[in-house]
Amino acid sequence: MPPRKNRPKDEQQELGLVQDTNSKYGQYNQIDNNYELQKYQTTNIDIVIFHQYKESKTLFQHQKAYINQNNEIVLSEILKNIKASGFEFTNAMISYFDPISDLYRYCGRDPLDHTVGVPISCINSNQLEIKLRCGQRNIVDMLIQEQKNKEENDETEARLNPTSANANQKNNRVKERKIGEVVEKVALWRRFYTGFYDENGKFINMPLDNAALKVGISKKTLDDYLLQIRCGKKYGFNFNKNLSERIGKLRSFVKSHKNKESNNQGYGGNDSGGEDNDA
């Protein structure tokens, strides 16, 4: 269960829900954190700060980054150094850009806990993009809006490319999504289900059926997508290379490897291929 943040601060400190950094224990805790940092590997990366409401980007070059035991960048230390340079974003909502899923991953409000990490795979061309949001917009609405913006961009691209769009319509019995979109939709669906803290510190999660309604795809189709993704990872499918390909390519890959696996084991396998049941 998430902490009860509506309690008085002194009561929260007494219960251990928050830490008073002015106390002796709090000072020891900070020392422990510094000691942990000394054991981490370090590297220098460039940080791009994207201020969403100002629609501006600022580049901070050669920032020292700590890599923890999970092979993740310790985000709080990077933000601390940037703030020390005079760049102010106190209490802003922090997200980092994941180039693999083409999504911003919400981390929480500034200041972040030192345990919040960014996977090394999110560093692209030695750059990490961090998005700041200052305001009270509901994070659920923002996640949905980001998905809608992506879909609108795809529709605009189709209108500008009518030849390819018409070709797709001719041989499309049902709409077949791109692999990149499928990965995004499944990630968003699972995120609503597993839960997250919103901008007010409230823990948000929902059943899989309700999460599917939020995403706008039936749970049956999302279950199938998740199965295809898991099987694809198991058999070594290159998702990064094929993000713009249709999901049928992943289905064919999985089916082929399952058939080979079944033949090697001496019995027939089940056909894992499905169809998109909704547009």
Nearest alpha carbon to residue 252 among 184, 186, 179, 166: 179
Nearest CA among 234, 239, 228, 217 for reference residue 273: 228
261 shares its domain with 158: yes
Residue 193 lies in a domain: yes
Enumerate residues 6+ apart whose C-beta is below 8 A from 250: 179, 182, 228, 229, 232, 237, 242
Give residue-wise pLDDT tens across range 152-163: 555 665 666 655
Q: Which residue has the higher pLDDT, 66 or 151?
A: 66
Please state, in angstroms and rounded to a whole number, the distance separating the CA atoms of residues 221 and 275.
Answer: 8
- 271 inside domain: no
Distance CA 167, CA 160 (A): 14
Tell whether 144 is covered by a domain: yes
69/160 same-domain check: no
Longest Cα–Cα distance of the chain, Å, equals 71
Residue 89 shares a structural domain with residue 192: no
Q: CA quadruple 240, 241, 243, 249: dihedral positive or negative?
A: negative
Task: Determine the structural domain holding residue 211 and report its residue range.
Answer: 139-265
Tokens of 73: 């960048």
pLDDT-based confidence at residue 278 (cuts at 50, 70, 90): low
HSE at residue 13, side-chain half, CA atoms within 13 A, is 11
Same domain, 111 and 171: no
- The residue among 100, 133, 166 that closes a domain is 133
**Range in 115-124, 145-154, 162-171, 250-259 the model is least confident about:** 162-171
Residues 124 and 153 in one domain: no
> How high is the mean pLDDT of the chain?
75
Quick one: 201 and 172 in the same domain?
Answer: yes
Query: Looking at the 3D structure of the chain, how many domains does it have?
Result: 2
> Is residue 208 packed enough to be buried (19+ CB in 10 Å), middle (13-18) or exposed (0-12)?
middle
Percent of the chain with pLDDT over 70: 64
Asked if 153 and 116 sit in the same domain, the reply is no
> Per residue in 72-98, pLDDT tens?
999 999 999 898 888 888 778 889 998
Separation between Cα atoms, residue 215 and residue 45, nearest integer Å: 34
181 occurs within a structural domain: yes
Domain CATH number, residue 46: 2.40.240
Half-sphere exposure of 120 (CA within 13 A, CB side): 11
Residues 154 and 250 in one domain: yes
